């Protein structure tokens, strides 16, 4: 049974701080000019899907949260149109110059949501987030990015899967997951939502915590988790095949082509929360996790989750599907 998104998972006072949702996270290949059109098309798909439910926009380069405008999606695609840095006289000066330009392009976010007021969390949300890794002597920045969205668990699953697959056909992604997850809005005290996610995710293994801020380098060549749908782009698909792992469908996990040279693993007929208290780890998720084990993160070094998580807790969550007890 899928947990309902009708009631908040956590409150900050009387303000909704977190919801259990269906969540989609596309971790993208390093961004370049060629991605501007792809992100524009992705924005159109998302707008047609959930645009009618969005009410508020939080742009990292703006002073305050404002009423949502459909044009706000364009701040995602235009990010890729200005990635050059001025040519410097020598390699050392180039790195200094690039780091100065990086300061104005780092931690770039376009966050959109529903909700009654601008401070409420909502099960309807969208985010584009970009971070820039350490610069080199080149004159073009190569940011890492995520496209993420959440919807209530009550939406039709067939439509949810079809929309996610449509996005996979547009974006250049390293990997992606879609299934049970969370929606938060950290304008309020972030501890209210973080503590709720910590407690909930440790009990229900089928939920992806979805933490990607400050984790994009750590999750570039290793995936955070499997979910109901797990997408691997061509780079990780090739890495998995080189490791000797089979990418063939089984009774529990379906494997199909996705995007350009990638695959999608479908773990069962529908998302499953599982329940640690009942020793229930969805068998299809356990099998999907085993299939991608060589590229699934297990070492917590360099990974940050909000709230009470420590390294041991993060490691236990990353490897939770290695426990075949149900």
pLDDT score, position 2: 61
The stretch 50-61 carries a mean pLDDT of 96
Q: What pLDDT shows up at residue 72?
A: 97
The pLDDT value recorded for residue 29 is: 97
Q: pLDDT band at 12, cuts 50/70/90?
A: confident
The residues, any chain, with a CB within 8 Å of residue 64's CB and separated by 6 or more, are none
**So what's the pLDDT on residue 66?**
96
Predicted confidence (pLDDT) per residue in 27-53, tens digit: 999 999 999 999 999 999 999 999 999
Q: What is the mean pLDDT of residues 143-159?
A: 97
How many residues are recorded in the chain? 326
Tokens of 28: 């993208």
| Count of C-beta atoms within a 10 Å radius of residue 298 | 11
130 DSSP β-pair partners? 108, 145
**Interval 187-207 mean pLDDT:** 92
Cβ contact 271:228 at 8 Å: yes
Q: Rounded distance, CA 136 to CA 144, Å?
A: 15
pLDDT of residue 97: 86
Q: Residues 289-311: what's their mean pLDDT? A: 96
Q: Over the stretch 131-140, which tens digit does the pLDDT of each residue have?
A: 999 988 888 8
Helix-then-strand count for the chain, H and E: 8, 11
In the structure, what pLDDT confidence band is assigned to residue 4 with cuts at 50, 70 and 90?
A: low
pLDDT computed for residue 102 by the predictor? 84
Question: How far is 283 from 143, CA to CA, in rounded Å?
Answer: 36
């Amino acid at each position: 049974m899928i947990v309902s998104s009708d009631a908040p998972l956590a409150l900050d006072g009387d303000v909704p701080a977190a919801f259990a949702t269906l969540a989609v996270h596309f971790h993208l290949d390093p961004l370049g000019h060629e991605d501007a059109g792809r992100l524009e098309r992705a924005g159109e798909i998302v707008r047609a899907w959930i645009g009618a439910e969005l009410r508020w926009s939080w742009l990292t380069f703006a002073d305050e949260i404002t009423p949502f405008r459909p044009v706000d999606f364009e701040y995602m695609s235009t990010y890729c149109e200005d990635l050059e840095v001025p040519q410097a006289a020598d390699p050392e000066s180039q790195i200094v110059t690039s780091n100065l330009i990086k300061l104005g392009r780092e931690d770039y976010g376009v966050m959109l949501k529903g909700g009654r007021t601008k401070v409420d969390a909502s099960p309807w949300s969208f985010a584009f987030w970009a971070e820039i890794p350490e610069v080199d002597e080149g004159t073009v920045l190569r940011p890492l990015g995520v496209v993420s969205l959440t919807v209530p668990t009550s939406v039709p699953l067939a439509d949810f899967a079809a929309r996610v697959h449509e996005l996979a056909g547009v974006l250049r992604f390293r990997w992606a997951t879609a299934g049970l997850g969370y929606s938060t809005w950290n304008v309020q005290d972030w501890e209210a939502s973080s503590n709720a996610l910590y407690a909930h995710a440790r009990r229900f293994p089928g939920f992806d915590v979805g933490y990607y801020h400050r984790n994009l380098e750590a999750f570039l060549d290793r995936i955070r988790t499997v979910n109901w749908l797990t997408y691997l782009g061509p780079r990780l698909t090739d890495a998995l095949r080189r490791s000797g792992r089979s990418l063939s469908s089984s009774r529990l996990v379906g494997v199909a082509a996705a995007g350009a040279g990638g695959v999608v693993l479908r773990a069962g007929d529908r998302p499953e929360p599982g329940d640690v208290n009942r020793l229930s780890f969805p068998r299809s998720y356990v099998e999907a996790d085993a299939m991608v084990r060589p590229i699934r993160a297990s070492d917590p070094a360099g990974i940050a989750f909000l709230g009470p998580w420590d390294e041991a807790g993060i490691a236990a969550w990353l490897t939770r599907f290695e426990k075949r007890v149900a």
